[in-house]
Amino acid sequence: MNKLLALLMIVFACSPLWAKEVFTGEVLNAPFTIHGRLSNYNGSANMRIWIIGSKRMLYAAGESPALERINQFFGDGGGWFSCDIYGDFTVEPLVPDTKGSMRPVRILEVKNLVITREGKVVSKRKTL
């Protein structure tokens, strides 16, 4: 009985080790693709990508042609904070990952976009 109890305690203590994590490329420091929501926030890192299915946030820090096209959606007169872009974002990390911090990335490409304004879908596109 004691052996069974000890075994159960070990199993529950180790359970986070095999829990499924969302891959965000922390180990590789190479470009990777995630499914997320790009929104604007107040603060210094104002354009952020929430990785759907996780508690992880990345922020767009590097300039790129994809980011210039994204800015057109936010600056089209509807307000920077009322627009969200959902899609598959290919990003390039700019610095190694630091646990507990938002990682700065450069957006290289966006596919399967759904653009919403104030919670209502206004556009769907395959690529940006």
37-79 pLDDT, tens digit each: 999 888 888 899 999 988 889 999 888 888 888 887 776 666 7
Q: What percent of the chain has pLDDT over 90?
A: 28
Classify the C-alpha dihedral 77-68-86-21 as positive or negative: negative
Classify the C-alpha dihedral 92-88-37-34 as positive or negative: negative
